[in-house]
Structures are given as structure tokens and as C-alpha cells.
Amino acid sequence: MKLFRWLRPGVHVKRWLFLFGIGMMITSFGLILTFNYEWIGALEEWVFRMLYEVTGHYNYTVLASFGIFILFAGLGIMIWATRRLIRTMIAVVMPNESGNLSDLILDNLKLTKGQKVVVIGGGTGLSVLLRGMKNKTYNLTAVVTVADDGGSSGRIRQDLDMIAPGDLRNCLVALADKEGLMEKLFAHRFGGNGNLSGHSFGNLFIAALIEVLGDVESAMDATSKILKVRGNVIPSSAQTIRLNAEMTDGTVVRGESQIPIVKGKIKRVFTTPAEPQAVHSAVEAIDRADAIVLGPGSLYTSIVPNLLIPDIVKAIKRSKAKKVYICNVMTQPGETDGYSVSDHVRAINRHAGADIIDFVLANNGEIDPAVLQHYAEAGSQPVRIDKKETGKTGATVILADLVSKETGSMHDPKRLATVLFDLINAMRSDLSPQLLHYYLKRYNRKR
């Protein structure tokens, strides 16, 4: 029965039903004392007479039966009235919601009590992951890079001397409770040849809020309320950061948007200023996290920039939460040409100053040959899986079919989120290292 759904452990309904019953008993006792108990006696005598006239009997069995009938009638009225009250309140707060009321409430309770997950990165890959994860937990925080200096974000950053809003916008839209018109509006780019040409409405909206409210965190909170965001989106730093890359030949490329264009082999990336200050709430979220996830996204221009902020990387190192890296499906021309899974992990560990990755999620699903040919023409290929070399870094590789059947090469949000949370739940189940390793081996075989 649907009614028994409310009796599930951890729903926190039984305690309030019990307290409601206690309150009713106390209220009834108070009414008796207030209006004189003799009134109750008179009412009881009237019930006796009425039952005698109707049934022709005058005993306590009939009275008890009538009392039980009255009891259940009262309970039925209370349940019906409470249900209608809740429906009315939900209709006011969430007028567009449909479906079963109990399912809606229980699902929201489950998500509200979900595990605390911090995702670190930027770019399109991060927003893809967030679209799947928002249906797994509401305790989700995206710590987003602000080093982007190209396109609309770059122009706003230069003209208004503020952090790039583009990746923040993508993450906010991805976590929106109901994607649709607002997603299209925030992604809309103005046409024409004027000053607004090429600008994203969402970027301008966030930039305006930053100027009106005075800081980026307040702007994020306000935008989150407008979009009804499930979770939090926090920039890794509130400073204007320029990302630079030192190539293996010694040349230095300045500017995030210029790094892939050079098409050289990257030795390291660094920022100007050298040690950017972290947003305090981002550090707090990492400290409270049950799991920390890096990626997916561009290795050197979306993920690593967050690790160049001292307070962010310190918080990751001291956190007892397991760290999971989601490896890209394809290599990125001018950034990770010829990279294997272990190359990605080593680059992250090298910039973090320690071996921080515990698990790596990598795709072993088939990619359509036509899609592979298209990427090959652009200089991209599937990331090579080298479990043995990756294991030398201390990370365990988890293989699964993570590719979207629609795009053919990008991660599928639902599949990726499901595999990720299966792993997080396994890590949180207090399994011994041996049992956890056995579970992961079985998981790989099943996938």
C-alpha cells in the first residue's frame, strides 16, 4: 500500500505522527478540564440512551463498538484533512508539479538527505555530469574554474574587470530544477554587429548581479534562487586569474583560450597571480564532502586551474573523502594529444603536488566508427586505457559504458551519475579494502 511508504526507516514521518497523537491527547485532556468533566458524563449518558433506543440493548459491548467506530471515523477525517492541507500547500509552493504526492515528497526527502558530493572542474564536461547528479542528491556543490578568457566571458572579464561567468552559467543551468525556457534564455547569444553581438544573456545577467550585489557569491545565490538550482555553484576564486602554460620547448603561452591553439606539448600550467585566493565557501564544501570528484572536462584548462589555488588543493589533500577522477572519453587537440588514462592522472597529481586520485572512471563503451572518423579528422582519438600504469599512481580504474548514444562521444549524464554514485555508495559502506576491491572487480565484469 502507498500509505506504508511513509513508514520507511529514515523518512522522519513516524516521529511526527506520534507527536501529533500526543498533542491531540493533551488537547483533549485540556478541553475536559476547561469545560468541566461533568459535560463528558452527560454526553456519555446521551450516547447510552441513543444506543438503547436504536438497538434495544444497554451494555458496554455496544458502547465499545460505537466508540471504535467514532475513533476510526475521527482518524479518517484527520488523515483526509491533513492530506488535503498538504496538497494545497504544495500546489501553492510548486504549482507545476504533477504525479503522486507521496512519491514527490519521499523523493525530495531522499535527495535532501543524500551524500555530500563536491565536483571540481569547468567547461561543458562538468555541466554534463551535473545534469545527471542533480537527480541523485541535493547536497551537491560545483567548484568551478574562472580562468576562461575567450568569447563572451572573456569580453566581460576584460571590460568589467570581473571573473569569467561562462562556466558558472553552464553549471547553474545544468542544476536548474526545471530546464527549458530558462536554459534557452541563459544560453541565448545576441546577433547583429553591435557591442552585444556574441554575448550570452546568461553571462550578462550574472555580470549585472555581481555589480548590483557587490560580490560573486551573492550573485550565485540570487541566480540559484531564480533558477531553483538543486545544489550550489561556487567559483574556486573571486580573483581575476590568467592561466598560462609552459611548453616542453620552453615557450610560455599566456591566456586560457590561447593554450589549445598553439598545439604544443604542455609541461605545466600556472596562474597570474601565482597564488590566487580561494572562495571560503568552496573550501568549506570540500572539508564537509563525503566524496570529491574531478572532471570530466579539459584537463589543463578546466580541471588543473582549480588545483593551482593553494587553499583548494590543501583542502583536497586533508580531506578524508575519496577522490574520483572522471577521465575524458576523447583526447583534446592541442592539450592532451596522445594521452592515456595514466597521463591524465599523473598531470593532476603533478600539479596538486601529491597523488590525490583514489579512483578513475573511464569509458570502455563502443563509439560509432563514423563518430571516431569525425574526431580523427580533428586530431582527436579515444583516451587509451592503461590500468597497470594508472595503478602505479595509487588509483584504481573503474571501467563502464559511459558514452551517450545520442552524441556518440560525450558522457551520458544518467549513466555517468549512476556509475559514480554506485562507486560512492560502495566507498561509504565501510567495506574492507579487500572486499571493496572484490566489489569493483565484479562491477567491472558486469559492466
Proportion of the chain above pLDDT 70, given as a percent: 78
- What pLDDT sits at residue 28? 74
180 pLDDT above the threshold of 70: no
| Closest to 171 in 3D by CA, of 136, 122, 114 | 122
How much is the average pLDDT of 265-286? Answer: 96
Kindly tell me the burial class for residue 166, based on how many C-beta atoms sit within 10 Å of its own C-beta (0-12, 13-18, 19 or more): buried
How big is the chain, counted in residues? Answer: 447
- What pLDDT sits at residue 266? 96
How much is the average pLDDT of 185-206? Answer: 85
79 pLDDT above the threshold of 80: no
Q: How far is CA 443 from CA 2, 217, 395, 437, 439, in A?
A: 33, 40, 16, 10, 6
Beta carbons within 10 angstroms of residue 156's beta carbon: 22
Between 171 and 185, name the one with better pLDDT: 171
How much is the average pLDDT of 415-424? Answer: 89
277 pLDDT above the threshold of 90: yes
* Mean pLDDT (the chain, rounded): 83
- What pLDDT sits at residue 390? 95
Q: How far apart are CA 139 and CA 134, in angstroms?
A: 9
How much is the average pLDDT of 415-434? Answer: 77
Could you please state the CATH topology (level 3) that the domain comprising 115-145+236-446 is classified under: Rossmann fold (3.40.50)
Alpha helices in 138-215 (DSSP H): 151-160, 166-174, 181-187, 201-213
| 7-21, 222-236, 244-258, 304-318: least confidently modelled range | 7-21
429 pLDDT above the threshold of 70: no
- What pLDDT sits at residue 276? 96
- What pLDDT sits at residue 179? 59
Q: How far apart are CA 57 and CA 49, in angstroms?
A: 10
222 pLDDT above the threshold of 80: yes
Beta carbons within 10 angstroms of residue 407's beta carbon: 14
- pLDDT for 15-55, tens place per residue? 666 777 777 777 777 766 666 656 666 666 776 677 667 66
Secondary structure of residue 330 in the 3-state scheme: strand
- What pLDDT sits at residue 24? 77
The listed range with the strongest mean pLDDT (311-315, 398-402, 410-414) is: 311-315
How much is the average pLDDT of 279-302? Answer: 95
- Domain limits, CATH 3.40.50.10680, in the chain: 115-145+236-446
